[in-house]
Structures are given as C-alpha cells and as structure tokens.
Amino acid sequence: MFVERVKGALRLSAVSSQARALGLAPGLTLADARARIPDLAVAEHDPVADGLFLERIADDCDRWTPLVALDGNDGLVLDITGCGHLFGGEAMMRRRVVEHLQRHGVALQAAVAGTPEAASTLARYGKGGVVPPGREAECVAPLPISALNLPEETVTGLSRAGLKTIGDLAARPGTPLAARFGVSLLTRLRRTQGFEDVRIVPRRPLPACIAERRFAEPIGRAEDVEGALRRLIEDLGLMLEARGEGGRAFEASFFRTDGTVRRLTVETARPSRDSASLGRLFEEKLEALADPLDPGFGFDLIRLAVLRAETLTPAQVSLDGRALEEEEVAALVDRLVARLGRERVLRFMLRDTHDPDRAVRLVPAADPVPPSSPVPDDRLPRPLMMFDPPQPIEALAEVPDGPPLRFRWRRVVHEVAHAEGPERIAPEWWRQATGIPTRDYFRVENREGRRFWLFRAGLYGQETTAPHWFLHGLFA
Amino acid sequence: MRATHDVSALRQMLAGLEAVRLPSASSAFTLGAKGPDEVLAETLARGALHEIYAAEGGDMPAASGFALALALRALNGQGEARPLVWVRQDFLDSETGRPDARGVSGFGLDPARLILVRVRDPEQALRAAGDAVRCAALGAVLLEWWGEPKVLDLTATRRLALRASVSGVSFFLLRRAARASPSVAVTRWLVRPMLSTPLAADAPGAPAFVVTLLRHRAGVQSHIWNLEWDHESCSFRDIPPLSRPVVSVPAGKSAGPTAEPSTAALRRAG
C-alpha cells in the first residue's frame, strides 16, 4: 500500500487487493488505517516512477496498434480501429492484451467501445468487456455520475439534484443542464454515450508506413536480429516504391518479451528506399550504440516504421554522373551521421550581418540546404580559424585607437610587425541589450609571420577608460 | 545491323564518360609557383596521401592554410565543385579555434563545399576519414591530427593511402606537435609562417609560408621554398628573396631558399 502527503496528513493513495478486502480505501489517513490494522506494509507513493512504468507499458502496447495515448496517470487508450481482425476479433484481442500484460504482473481492467471516453469509463468504473457497436449508452447508464470525470463541484451539484447515475443524467433534457453546468458536461456525456467520437491524440507520431515481423519463438542472436531487420528493410522498400515515396527518418522498434521496447532511429539526408544503404545505416547505428542491444529473453516483435516520407521519383541518371556524385556524398553524410550524430557532421551557413559572432553558423549537413541570405561582399580579410568565445589578451597600444604594439597571449609575448586597422564593428543595438561595447578590430602580424585578428572592446574615452583586448581569430 | 552499330556506339560513348568520371590515380597537380613546380615536375599525385607538419603550436594556422591551399590546387584541375571533408577533434576548437566560413572563402574555397566532421577521439577521426576517402565523389579529405596517438600507425596510413588511390580522392594529413613517424605518405611538408609582404599602409599582406619538402617518395631532394598564396587565382607564388621586407629576420630563421632545412624545430616539438 502506498501513502501520500495530502494537506499535511499522510493518506493512503493506493491499496492492494488484500487491504481493500480488510476495508481500507484510498483517502483514509495512515493513522486511522494503522489503528485498524497495526502491521501495515507502507511505502511512499512515487508518482514519477508510476509515470515511467505507465510509459513503459504504453511503449509495449505499441505492438498492438501504433495509436496509443495516456489516459490520466493510470490508464491507456488504444485506438484499435481496423486492428481487431489481425488478432482474431475485438474480444480475442482484448483477451490477448490482458493476458500479455498480466504475464508482466500488471493488474488491469480493459474495455472495448466505440469511443475512447466510453471505453475508459467502462474500464474504470464498469466491469470492462466488449461493448457491441452502438450500445455504449446502455452500457454506461448504470454507472455513477463521478465516472464522467467531471469537476468536483459539478458532481456535487448533480448529486444534490438527485442525479446519481449517467442514465439519470441522460434522461434529463440537455438545455437546462448546459445552462446550469456548462456545455462541457453535455459534450462529455455525449462522448461517453458513444454519440460523438473524437480520435485520441497518440503519444507517438503516426508512422507513414510500417513493416513488422512477429516471432513465435523469441529471437536473441545478433545475426538473427540483423537478418530480420534486413528483411524488414526490403519489405519496407517495396512498400515505399509502390507509394512512389522515400523515407527521411526510419525507426526500428525491438519489443522484448518482458515488455521493454528499444528504439533506434536513422535519418537520411534525402528520401531513400534503397535497402542496401539503409541496411548499412542501421548496422552503423547498432555498432555505435553505447549500450548494446540487449535481447534479454529475446525479441518477439521487430517493427520498422517510416516516420517521415517524401515523394521520391525514380531518378533519371544524368550522363555526366553529377547527380550520382551528389547521391554518393549524401550517402557518406548519412553514414557519418548514423555513427557520430547529427550535430557532428556540419556545413557552414553565412548570415547577412557584420557581427563576427553571428556571421557564420554551423548547421547539420543532413538538413536540407536553407535559403542563405545575401552575404555582404566587403572583401575584408577574415581569419581562417576563429575562437568562440574570443580569448582575452594583454596588449600595449596607443590611445585612443592605435593598433597594438605588443601583446601577450597564452603567456607568449608577440611583437607586432605589421598591423591594419581599426575596423570598427558596432554591436547590433536592435538585437542586443545596451552596454555591449563597440569593437575595434586589427589585423596584425608578429615578427615571426604569425597573423592574428585582435579587437579592443570599447571606445577609449567614450565607452571605457581601460579597454580590454581580445584575440578573436588566427590567419593562415 | 544498324541497331548493333548504335549500341556499340553508345557503349563507346559511355566508356568515354566513365573514364572521365573515374579519376586516375596517376594524375598530378602543381603548386602554381615556378620554383617548386620545376623541382617537383608533375610528381605531386592526386589520390594519394600527403602529410603536412607544423613544427610548433603557433604554426598550426599556417599549416592548416597550406593544407587547404594544397587541397584547392589538387581540386583545381578537376573542374567541378566537389566537396571537401575536414575531420577534426573537438578539443582542437579550444587550441586553435574552429574553421571559419569567411576565412575559408578568403582562401578561395566556397564554404558551401566544405563539410566539417567533428569527432571525439582519434579512433573516430580515423574511421570517419577512412570512410570519407572511399567516397569518390569528394574532392579531398583533410584530417587534422594532434600529437602521436597510437592508432595512426604504418598500417593505418597504408590503408588510407590505398583507399585514396582507389577512389582518387587526395588525402591531406595535417599533423601537429608530432615527430616525423614512418608512413606511406607520398610527400611530407613542414610549414611555417613567414613575414608577409606588407600592403599599403603597412598592412599584413597575403599569407606567406616557409615550406620545407622533407620527403618525397619519388626521390626528390629536400627543398625549402618561400611561397605566397594568391586566393584570386588559387595558386602559389614564389617570393623572391630580395623583395622580402628588411625588417627583422629573427636569428635562426631561414632568410631565403638557400638556407639549410630546419629540422631542429621539428625535433624540438613533440
């Protein structure tokens, strides 16, 4: 049994079936419960762990349908529209779901109905089971008003009016009820009775298409898993070809017999359905895993889903092979991304600004090329290597804005032989807060021929009396 | 009869196109400057491994610039704008900064053609570079390497060189703070910055290097050249010894192409 602190008192938040049999119920204070039954086994309620456990069950429920949503903090809604026949009808499917979860030690009640609200209400307050189509209203009628999941004051108001069950409520004319308790009550009622159907919002995005393989005997050997994955990739390739599409993001889900689900995602720079290259990407991904794919007692279902698909027409190979080359480079980028991660394979994007901190951005090379803004063509030399953030240095320079004569960087003193500047770059006042000093940039060369890009932060005598110097970059 | 004739004609045409596409490992590139080109005489191979050493930490930008310039020279004859892959480890960002798009474009390379691959450790760097060099659609691969990690042994360089020769992609290995170790590189260069020829108003001029050819597999003698990079024409220029600025040549630094190779600096580092 679990306890939870409510308004300063320890109250029971969940009780086991034995405790329920002894007359304990959630909401009772712990002191009262102890007075009745002195040797209680009590643990503190951990909602976060509960949530994680529910998430895990929800992950596992993906094996029945891709449309799974959380219902409150202790329920799940599965949209099984069109799935029932795959598991031998709705009643059979319900039994299999219940048996599967009970094997993992989950106590549950399940109901199948025409709308998510009706099913949820029946599972929580009724006996569960399968509602024949169109008879939701009958089935929910004997349930108490509180099953409608309404605000506290509405329930109190309704029961004061003598309306105890959903059936009582449904028998009243709707307009006065709406005037007294709001339209949401009627909406809720209609949905629970199955007159109005709203689809659930699945917790995971709906894949464009999926291929899956169920195993009568769980498989655990790495070669078997890879073989199964390869066959799935081929199946999916055929499916995508029939649709004239290619996938940009693929997800392989490995369902373990003990209910744990492991997912791997692979992304490609351009739509693809080539089984060889996709197979290689998944191999890279499997190899790069920090914690290897642990089969436990084996996987009994492997699913491959296309998360994002785009139109892919069979390419006409141009004779000069240019398109082919681009294809090869994209394949290389995909391979590197699969192994190293998106944020490690980069390309430059230039921005239309004079602020050296913002002028260049590194973006993942796997992303589509964004329309780059026109770049100021000022032809002023910029260093090959840049420091982010700029490195503080000590410099000796003429006031107010002469170039440095000598500076010290990383404990080495550099004598300046040639210098060019200042190139004055003011902060973008429309973007940043005030107080950021103007920068005077100098291109300097020391006596050994090393070239540096330095700046002085702040105008001498106007913005500061003791300006700081920084090194921002190194020229080749 | 006519049909077979057409097919064979098409085949010939395709074979011709294939030949254009498949790079020949034997193709050579030049530096564009008279001095080195006369000595090297078409022996700088594309699709091969070249090593560029920086003697000291402070020489790294110069070595990077020289490596980039070499890569551009190697790309030059190939006409189309093939991308270039630059593999570097994360910690280098704090040591020497990270490559900047505008600096790269100032060198003559369109930054859109550069793919930057950041890796955590030497093993990953070697693997990423090994993958990249197999991709024949690339122009060149630049691998920046710090110190002497064990993974870069003779076998590893041989593998890289082999892949480069198969794909025809030139491979430039940029090494810093390292002793010269045995490798199968075709050429090995030591690069140091040089005081540039100042522009008007005493501004620093075009990037200038003291470049030492330490080793060449074709048996070319060790040489020192003073070179300047011209990004407009994408080629090197000789710096005649007399036009050098009169200011301060520090003691121990080479003053012209006749000086002895400075291997002392190489030994000192590492």
- For the domain spanning A2-43, the CATH number is 3.40.1170
pLDDT, residue A370, reads 67
CA distance, residue B110 to nearest chain A CA (Å): 10
CB contact under 8 A, A348 and B101: yes
pLDDT, residue B21, reads 43
CB contact under 8 A, B117 and A386: no
Residues B107-119: pLDDT tens digits?
A: 888 888 899 999 9
- Which chain A residues are Cβ-neighbours of B136 within 8 angstroms? 325, 328
Q: Give the pLDDT band of residue A1 (cuts 50, 70, 90).
A: low
Cβ atoms of A246 and A312 within 8 Å: the answer is: yes
pLDDT, residue A20, reads 80
Whether the per-residue pLDDT at A209 is higher than 90: the answer is no
Residues A380-396: pLDDT tens digits?
A: 888 999 998 899 999 99
Average pLDDT (B170-176) is: 90
3-state DSSP assignment of residue B186: coil
Whether the per-residue pLDDT at A106 is higher than 80: the answer is yes
Pick from A319, A385, A445: which is nearest to B97 by CB?
A: A385
CB contact under 8 A, A344 and B118: yes
CA distance, residue A24 to nearest chain B CA (Å): 57
Pick from A329, A336, A385: which is nearest to B117 by CB?
A: A336
Whether the per-residue pLDDT at B268 is higher than 50: the answer is no
The answer, for A376 touching chain B at a CB cutoff of 8 Å, is no
CB contact under 8 A, A417 and B119: no
Pick from A322, A333, A418: which is nearest to B202 by CB?
A: A418
Maximum Cα–Cα distance across chain A: 97
Q: Give the pLDDT band of residue A455 (cuts 50, 70, 90).
A: very high
Cβ atoms of B191 and B209 within 8 Å: the answer is: yes
Whether the per-residue pLDDT at B83 is higher than 70: the answer is yes
Average pLDDT (A155-172) is: 85
Q: Which residue has the higher pLDDT, A17 or B261?
A: A17
Which of A2-16, A43-57, A456-470 is the least confident region? A2-16
For chain A, percent of residues with pLDDT exceeding 90: 12
For chain B, percent of residues with pLDDT exceeding 90: 27
Number of residue pairs across A and B with CB atoms under 8 Å? 187
Give the residue from chain A lying closest to B121, CA to CA.
A340
- Which chain A residues are Cβ-neighbours of B250 within 8 angstroms? 447-448
Residues of each domain in chain A carrying CATH 3.30.1490.100:
209-337
Backbone angles phi, psi at A13, to 5 degrees: -110, -25
Residues A398-412: pLDDT tens digits?
A: 878 888 999 999 999
Which of A332, A373, A441 would you mutate first to test chain B, the one with the most B CBs within 10 A? Answer: A332
CA distance, residue B100 to nearest chain A CA (Å): 6
A332 contacts: CB under 8 Å, gap ≥ 6: B85, B131, B132, B135, B137, B138
pLDDT, residue B263, reads 44
Two tokens at B73?
A: 């020279």
- For the domain spanning B33-268, the CATH number is 3.40.50.300
Whether the per-residue pLDDT at B261 is higher than 50: the answer is no
Is residue A288 within a helix (H) or strand (E), and if so which, with residue range?
helix A275-288
3-state DSSP assignment of residue A266: strand
Which of A336, A452, A470 would you mutate first to test chain B, the one with the most B CBs within 10 A? Answer: A336
The answer, for A290 touching chain B at a CB cutoff of 8 Å, is no
The answer, for A451 touching chain B at a CB cutoff of 8 Å, is yes
Name the fold adopted by A209-337. Dna Ligase; domain 1 (3.30.1490)
Q: Give the pLDDT band of residue B208 (cuts 50, 70, 90).
A: very high
Q: Which residue has the higher pLDDT, B130 or A461?
A: B130
The ipTM of this complex is 0.79
- Which chain B residues are Cβ-neighbours of A322 within 8 angstroms? 80
Residues A264-320: pLDDT tens digits?
A: 888 887 788 888 888 888 888 888 777 778 888 888 889 999 988 888 876 665 555
CB contact under 8 A, A384 and B65: yes
The answer, for A425 touching chain B at a CB cutoff of 8 Å, is no
Whether the per-residue pLDDT at A114 is higher than 60: the answer is yes
Backbone angles phi, psi at B5, to 5 degrees: -60, -45
Backbone angles phi, psi at B24, to 5 degrees: -90, 130
